[in-house]
Structure 1
């Protein structure tokens, strides 16, 4: 059965209100909104997935429809993107064997991240949820550490066991290494890429669970699965020369624009 890619987007972000409609200039100097760039990243995934934007805000709905996206309206009560994906899946009547949550603040997500994520989940009959992780080079790790030193919440890091099942996710930089790495050096830290693939059974169960203390402390929706002892498969992906960063704070806009320009993305 086909894959459904849902791009959850809300206007009332605590850290960055209106974030989905923030403009990002590409290599040609033209500006596109964050939600449009995230939608274009989803549409680039091979295999003809169905791509929808899920939102509770008419400003985002109108903007998305303007550039041709299919929009599913969801309730304001959704606590996070996973709950919004569950609502969107139900609203569309199901019929998909895997649902991908490509978060609306990740416009630099390469298509192969999603391809490999879906393949990884399909290859593991036990896993109900999967998410990509990207080994940090020294430059990325230093940027994560600099954000924390400056009091900013930047990217999320992940640690996992030999079976690739997640042990923990954190907005702190884990594991602690106590070392300084050259920009091009390989490090033991993995950047969590904000994409998830769910089997419908896991997606249906998630909204029925109350958020646990770890999810509330970290503000990371995937911790709800770990707190319920539901395994999350970490699928290691390769950058292949592409840069990856999520838009979490206003300070990330020039960083992402520089990456778009450097990669020639219009």
Structure 2
């Protein structure tokens, strides 16, 4: 199995400019993502960036980085750009979010394992059980419903299913909800195909790119994880990340 990881990392961010280079306890966020990915079974880990500052920084700690076009509409398009530049053949490509410094190697490996099947999936992603009402009703944490074979049927920022017979405060007592973890895996040929698709009505309604793929007939297999992640989008997220590093036993300057 030849699986490679590509980490899209844009410099621009409305709420956190230069987000990949933000210091988290003595290491940049992008370095933490790269080092976590390198602990997995991936044969190669590459950062795909639109900015030379990020490229130079990644190379300064021994990582590999490629400059991609600056105007890609999504991380998926940036991943495709980087894969084409690499000029190699892989069994699967893992798109690792550049703002997930606590991504666990086991989460990456869970997706890689799906491609060891006799018939590899077209696409794959991670799901995690919802454990609180805060998670369930947060529009920032997309939920997913699966079929009996573990393929995604739909993603939504709203809790699905709607339980008509119970008050919403009791929904978690009567149904096992799953939230989506934004780690994706693609067959190379499928990655090429999906980046040619136009935005779809469901995608535009929910602002969730993966709905474009479902709406066009692609199937997304899921693997389940119990491990939590923490995406960094705001200054408050940075503070939470520093607290998590302290809880993990790292020395973090106040």
In the comparison of the two structures, how many residue pairs are matched? 247
TM-score (norm 1): 0.83
Residue 68 of structure 1 aligns with which residue? 62
- In the alignment, structure 1 segments of 5+ residues that lack a partner are 26-30
TM-score (norm 2): 0.87
Q: Say which one has the larger Rg.
A: 2
Deviation at 1:5, TM superposition (A): 0.3
Residue 155 of structure 2 aligns with which residue? 169
Q: Residue 250 in 1 paired to residue 250 in 2?
A: no
1:40-89 alpha-carbon deviations (Å, 9 max, x no partner):
1111103x520000011112112212222101111112111111111111
Deviation at 1:186, TM superposition (A): 11
Residues 192/154 of structure 1: CA separation in 2 closer, same or farther (3 Å cut): same
* Counterpart Cα distance in 2 of 1:19 and 1:132: 24
Deviation at 1:15, TM superposition (A): 4.8
SS in structure 1 at match of 2:203: helix
* Counterpart Cα distance in 2 of 1:230 and 1:171: 20
Residue 207 of structure 2 aligns with which residue? 219
Contact 1:121/1:233 (8 A) holds in 2: no
Residue 59 (structure 1) aligned to one of 53, 56, 60: 53
Contact 1:83/1:206 (8 A) holds in 2: no
Residue 262 (structure 1) aligned to one of 238, 247, 253: 247
* Counterpart Cα distance in 1 of 2:211 and 2:14: 19
Q: Residue 32 in 1 paired to residue 27 in 2?
A: yes
Deviation at 1:34, TM superposition (A): 1.4
SS in structure 2 at match of 1:208: coil
Q: Which range moved further: 98-107 or 114-123?
A: 114-123
* Counterpart Cα distance in 1 of 2:100 and 2:47: 13
Deviation at 1:226, TM superposition (A): 0.9
* Counterpart Cα distance in 2 of 1:246 and 1:176: 27
* Counterpart Cα distance in 2 of 1:76 and 1:206: 19
* Counterpart Cα distance in 2 of 1:115 and 1:259: 23
